[in-house]
Amino acid sequence: MTGSSSTTRCAGRKVPPPEAGDPPGAKERTVADTQNQVLDLIFGRWRSQILYAGVKLGVFEALRERSREAADVAQELGLDAPLCYRLLRALASLGLLDEAAGRTFSVAEAGRYLLADHPQTLRGVALLEEGPEHYALWRHLPAMIRDGAQNAFVREFGRMAFEHAVADAGYARVFDEAMSSYSSAQTTQAVQALAGCDFSTVARLCDVGGGHGHLICGFLARYLQLEGVVLERPEVIADRSRLWADKLGLGGRCRYVAGDMFSEVPTADAYVMKLILHDWDDDECVRILRTIHRSATPGARVFVVEHLVTDPGVPHFAKLFDIHMMCWGSGRERTAAEYGALLEAAGWAYRETHYPPAGLMGVVEGVRA
C-alpha cells in the first residue's frame, strides 16, 4: 500500500556491527545509520501524506504535459501560491517531481505512476490508502492488539468496509479506483505464475469477486478456448462502461453475474480468486471455498492469488499488508501452507503453489477432491 516499498526496504535492511580494526568513527556511523533507519520508519507517514496531497490536489495532472512554474500550477488549481510551491518542492525531494531553476517543476518518471491514465497507475491506491477513511483506521491498532479484536473499520465507522462502500458513494468510488490501480500488475503476476499450468481441459473459468474483470481478461487473452464468468456484487458491475471485457474486445467470451459468493457461484471448470480470501477470517474462507466446491465440475481447480507470508526472518510486504487487513476488516494474510489447510478443510485437495518470475504475489492451487 502507500509507502510500502520504502517501509519494506527499511524493514529488511540490516546494519552490520563494526568489526575490530574498523577506522575511527565507524561505530558512530553505524549508530547514526541505525537511528536513521528508525527515523525513516517514523517519518514514513510524512512521505505518504505529501504524496496524497499532491494527488488529491491535482498537481501531477497539472504538470503532465510540460514543465511549469509553481505559481502557474497554483493559479490553475486554486491553491495558495507559497504553500503550493512548498508542496511541489517536497514532492521533488521524494523523487516524484523534478525541480529546475525559477521554481519550475515537471513530473519525474516515478511521479508518472500517479497520473490517472498511466497503464500501471497507482493513483487510486494513493487516494484510498492515504485518504481519510483508511488513515483513520490506524489509530485503533494498539487498542485492537490489546483487546484481541480486529476490524478498525467497525470501531471507526460502526460498520464493515463493504457496508460503508454501499452507504458512502465517495468511498466506493475511491475504493473501485484503487482496485483498478492494483489490477494491472496483479493480473500480470497471476498469469505469469500460472504460465506453466495446463489449461487445455478448462472450458469455463470463473473469477469469484472479480471486480470489473481485469484479471479474467488476462486469462482470456492468453487462453483462447476459455469462456469467462465474473461473479461480483451487483453494485460493482452495475455500470457496464467500467467493465474490462468490452473495453478489451473480449465481451463475447465473458459474462458478468451478480451474486453472493457465500451462497452460490456459477458452475465452472476452474476458479480464480485474487485478494478475496485475505478479506475474511478462517471460518468465512472455508464457507466461500465450500460454496465453490459445490458448484465446481469434477476435477475442477481453484487458484487463490494472494500476498503469501514468507518464512520467519524474511522481510516481505505480506507481513505489513497483514496489519492493514487487521485494521480494515476480519481478514489476514497467510502462508501458502495456511491457504492449503483452508482448501483441505473445504473439501479441496492442495496441489501446489506457483510464483511469478517477479512480484509480490503467489498462487495456491487446489483441485476438487
Please give the chain's pLDDT, 369 residues, in tens. 333 333 333 344 454 555 556 676 777 778 888 999 999 999 999 999 999 999 999 999 999 999 999 999 999 999 999 999 999 999 999 999 999 999 999 999 999 999 999 988 999 999 999 999 999 999 999 999 999 999 999 999 999 999 999 999 999 999 988 988 888 889 999 999 999 999 999 999 999 999 999 999 999 999 999 999 999 999 889 999 989 999 999 999 999 999 999 999 999 999 999 999 999 999 999 999 999 999 999 999 999 999 999 999 999 999 999 999 999 999 999 999 999 999 999 999 999 999 999 888 999 999 998
Residue 278 is among the residues annotated as catalytic for this protein: yes
Whole-number pLDDT of residue 20: 55
Return left, alpha or beta for 158; rule: phi > 0 is left, psi -120 to 50 is alpha, else beta: left
SS3 of residue 185 by DSSP: helix
CA distance 254 to 268: 13
Whole-number pLDDT of residue 17: 54
Q: Using alpha carbons, list the distances in angstroms from residue 207 to 135, 239, 365.
A: 30, 18, 14
Is there a contact between 4 and 323 (Cβ–Cβ < 8 Å)?
no
Judge residue 67's burial from the number of C-beta atoms within 10 Å of its C-beta, 0-12 exposed, 13-18 middle, 19 or more buried: middle
Q: Using alpha carbons, list the distances in angstroms from residue 49 to 90, 135, 205.
A: 11, 10, 40
CA distance 301 to 272: 9
Give me the catalytic one of 164, 278, 293, 307. Answer: 278
Q: What's 241's DSSP letter?
A: G
End-to-end CA, the chain = 36
Question: Interior CA angle at 248 toward 244 and 252, to 5°?
Answer: 90
Whole-number pLDDT of residue 2: 37
